[in-house]
């Protein structure tokens, strides 16, 4: 049983509402052709198919099958329709032949283009695929291979998803809440719903789950594969929901600092910032609990401010050149739930000889300049080349306006080096919007942007299907002076399929291209790579995430993501 625990506050963007199908081609979207087929069983072109198979088609989103006619989903051989019945679930339609299929015969399956998703969109044309039978009857029962639990963040509650992984395609109609159940303390049944994706069945609780609590999940022997074979054996398993999670506030921790630990050549006018993994109680963060110490333990005079999840120490005077400073964050700082840190948090950095004076730069935005067919339910991101002053990033310095000049209302949040503008309501479809970050936005040294950063993008006609993306990494891109003992963390924007997060899709290599051995820990929205040995000092490492990593709905990231970082020379 895998316990998948989110440790990053990666959901500050909010969950994007999936549209029906998520076509990304403008002509299709404009015409209302948004329905996408995710896969079929048997697959198109497959040969040697068992004669007792069912024929299943899987869609990307919830479908409206109420108005379908049996003739909308047909299977034919020798030009004649095959007798059978059709059953439907939220995402799938399954054709059950009345008798076994003929041996060594080519079959054609056709789903009418008139099939509709819940918002009424259809396909551009009929979906047709073929397969050929063999001479065998599939009598092999399916096997429940693995299970997992992932924490989910919803606006009003702590909950999660229980996942069961099978070794072959299953009949979605055979998996329901009678077969897949969840029970809490005292054997009380947890109500929920079932979603079937690929080889996985997902149980979504209707209400809240309790943290740090033992739950029992079970799957009976009722589920069958697409040939009608019942599960070899049912399974009952237990798991404990995590209480050390940024989602519940049960754990208080520092996630990043600026400067980074053991960083060198820091500008003399630098402000020191600490970003926490959860919203903190501002009354516990002051010059007594967040201290910067000169050599000899002498406190540096200054003031402390706090906003979002970041505390900033502003020295009264510029720091001394070529000096090592220690920073202490007391364990007495607390989250809004009143939970203190487990211990004091300490890090150190060394100044150089230069004063501040370099303006910050917007590296890139999402959506990017000129992007078309942007999902109306998107949030707008701006990524800077250095940590910014969180207090300077507001709806006054970060604005979004429609083509008519009407401002979009929303909120701005900031973490790491990323500012996010989240509209209060969805953007309008087919509208060109202008994003603007003004010179009121400043870095931690009070240095403003050299000039306003302005870009435009245009929305499409519907919300796109959610494609997994990397939100941030630790170490960050081109990070230097990284501890040789560092673990590499990658945070995504949604729950990922753990079977696609391993050494085959994520690789860390040294300057010679030699892979670094290590282990992977999956935590729902994130994965952490722990090197088997300490990294070499003064070495540049490359991390590559394959575009083949997938979310739990089987959607690929699409393109590789690669970045480098350099380790420090520890004394």
Q: If you average pLDDT over every residue of the chain, what do you get?
A: 83
Q: 247 has which bridge partners?
A: none
More confident residue, 248 or 252: 252
Q: What is the pLDDT at residue 553?
A: 57
Q: For 300-310, what is the mean pLDDT? A: 88
Q: State the residue for tokens 């050494």.
A: 503
Which range has highest mean pLDDT (72-81, 148-157, 382-391, 414-423)?
72-81
Degrees to nearest 5, angle at CA 80 with 78 and 86: 120
Q: What is the pLDDT at residue 480?
A: 83
Res. 325 pLDDT band, cuts 50 70 90: very high
pTM score, two decimals? 0.42
- Work out the number of other CB atoms within 10 angstroms of the CB of residue 114: 12
Q: What is the pLDDT at residue 160?
A: 84
ω before 439 within 30° of 0 (cis)? no
Q: What is the pLDDT at residue 563?
A: 93
More confident residue, 509 or 342: 509
pLDDT tens-place string over residues 366-414: 788 888 888 887 778 888 877 788 889 999 999 999 999 999 999 887 7
Which range has highest mean pLDDT (8-22, 217-231, 326-340)?
217-231
Q: What is the pLDDT at residue 39?
A: 80
Least confident of 34-48, 155-169, 237-251: 237-251
Proportion of the chain above pLDDT 90, given as a percent: 37
Res. 261 pLDDT band, cuts 50 70 90: confident
Pairing of strands 263-266, 345-351: parallel
Q: For 225-234, what is the mean pLDDT? A: 88
87 burial (CB, 10 Å; 0-12 / 13-18 / 19+) is: middle
User: Residue 199: which residues within 8 A CB-CB, separation 6 or more?
Assistant: 165, 166, 167, 168, 169, 170
Q: What is the pLDDT at residue 14?
A: 29
Degrees to nearest 5, angle at CA 216 with 210 and 221: 145
pLDDT at 330 over 80: yes
Q: Measured between alpha carbons, how far is 235 from 162 in angstroms, rounded to an integer?
A: 13
Q: For 10-25, what is the mean pLDDT? A: 32
Counting other chains too, the contacts that 152-155 makes at CB distance below 8 Å and 24 or more residues apart are: 152/247, 152/495, 152/524, 153/6, 153/11, 153/247
Q: For 238-254, what is the mean pLDDT? A: 64
Q: Measured between alpha carbons, how far is 567 from 535 in angstroms, rounded to an integer?
A: 8
**Neighbour order of strands in the sheet with 418-423:** 362-366, 380-384, 418-423, 410-415
pLDDT at 15 over 80: no
Q: What is the pLDDT at residue 415?
A: 65
pLDDT at 10 over 90: no
pLDDT at 209 over 60: yes
- Work out the number of other CB atoms within 10 angstroms of the CB of residue 425: 10
Q: How far is CA 168 from the centre of its chain?
A: 25
More confident residue, 331 or 189: 189
pLDDT at 264 over 90: no
Q: What is the pLDDT at residue 456?
A: 95
Which range has highest mean pLDDT (109-118, 257-266, 448-457, 497-506)?
448-457
pLDDT at 344 over 50: yes
């Amino acid at each position: 049983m895998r316990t998948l625990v989110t440790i990053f506050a990666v959901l500050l963007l909010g969950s994007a509402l999936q549209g029906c199908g998520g076509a990304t081609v403008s002509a299709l979207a404009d015409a209302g052709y948004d329905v996408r087929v995710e896969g079929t069983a048997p697959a198109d072109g497959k040969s040697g198919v068992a004669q007792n198979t069912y024929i299943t088609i899987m869609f990307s989103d919830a479908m409206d099958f109420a108005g379908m006619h049996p003739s909308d989903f047909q299977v034919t051989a020798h030009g004649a329709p095959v007798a059978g019945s059709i059953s439907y679930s939220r995402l799938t339609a399954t054709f059950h032949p009345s008798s076994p299929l003929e041996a060594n015969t080519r079959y054609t399956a056709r789903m009418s283009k008139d099939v509709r998703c819940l918002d009424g969109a259809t396909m551009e044309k009929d979906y047709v695929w073929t397969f050929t039978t063999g001479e065998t009857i599939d009598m092999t029962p399916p096997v429940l291979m693995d299970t997992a639990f992932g924490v989910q963040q919803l606006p009003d509650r702590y909950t999660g998803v229980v996942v069961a992984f099978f070794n072959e395609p299953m009949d979605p109609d055979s998996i329901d809440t009678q077969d897949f159940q969840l029970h809490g303390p005292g054997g009380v049944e947890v109500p929920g719903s079932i979603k079937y994706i690929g080889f996985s069945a997902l149980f979504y609780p209707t209400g809240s789950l309790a943290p740090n609590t033992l739950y029992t999940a079970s799957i009976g022997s009722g589920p069958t594969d697409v040939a009608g074979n019942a599960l070899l054996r049912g399974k009952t398993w237990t798991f404990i929901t995590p209480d050390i999670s940024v989602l519940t506030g049960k754990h208080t921790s520092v996630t990043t600092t600026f400067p980074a630990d053991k960083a060198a050549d820091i500008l003399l006018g630098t402000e020191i910032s600490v970003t926490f993994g959860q919203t903190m109680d501002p009354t516990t963060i002051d010059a007594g609990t967040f201290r910067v110490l000169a050599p000899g333990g002498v406190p540096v005079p200054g003031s402390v401010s706090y906003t979002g999840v970041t505390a900033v120490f502003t020295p009264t005077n510029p720091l001394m050149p070529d000096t090592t400073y220690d920073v202490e964050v007391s364990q007495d700082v607390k989250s809004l739930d009143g939970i203190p840190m487990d211990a004091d948090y300490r890090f150190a950095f060394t100044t150089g000889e230069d004063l501040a004076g370099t303006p910050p730069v917007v590296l890139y935005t999402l959506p990017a300049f000129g992007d078309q067919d942007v999902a109306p339910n998107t949030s707008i991101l701006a990524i800077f080349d250095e940590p910014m002053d969180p207090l300077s990033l507001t709806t006054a310095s970060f604005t979004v306006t429609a083509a008519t000049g009407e401002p979009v209302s929303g909120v701005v949040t900031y973490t790491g080096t990323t500012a996010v503008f989240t509209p209060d309501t969805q953007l309008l479809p087919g509208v060109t919007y202008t994003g603007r970050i003004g010179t009121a936005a400043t870095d931690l040294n009070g240095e403003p942007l050299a000039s306003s950063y302005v870009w435009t993008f245009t929305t499409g006609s519907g919300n796109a299907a959610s494609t997994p993306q990397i939100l941030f990494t630790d170490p960050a891109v081109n990070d230097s002076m990284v501890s040789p003992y560092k673990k590499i963390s990658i945070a995504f924007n949604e729950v990922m399929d753990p079977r696609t997060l391993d050494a085959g899709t994520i690789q860390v290599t040294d300057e010679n291209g030699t892979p670094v051995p290590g282990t992977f820990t999956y935590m729902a929205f994130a994965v952490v790579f722990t090197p088997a040995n300490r990294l070499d000092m003064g070495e540049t490492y490359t991390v590559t995430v394959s575009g083949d990593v997938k979310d739990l709905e089987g959607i690929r990231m699409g393109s590789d993501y690669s970045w480098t970082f350099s380790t420090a020379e520890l004394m």
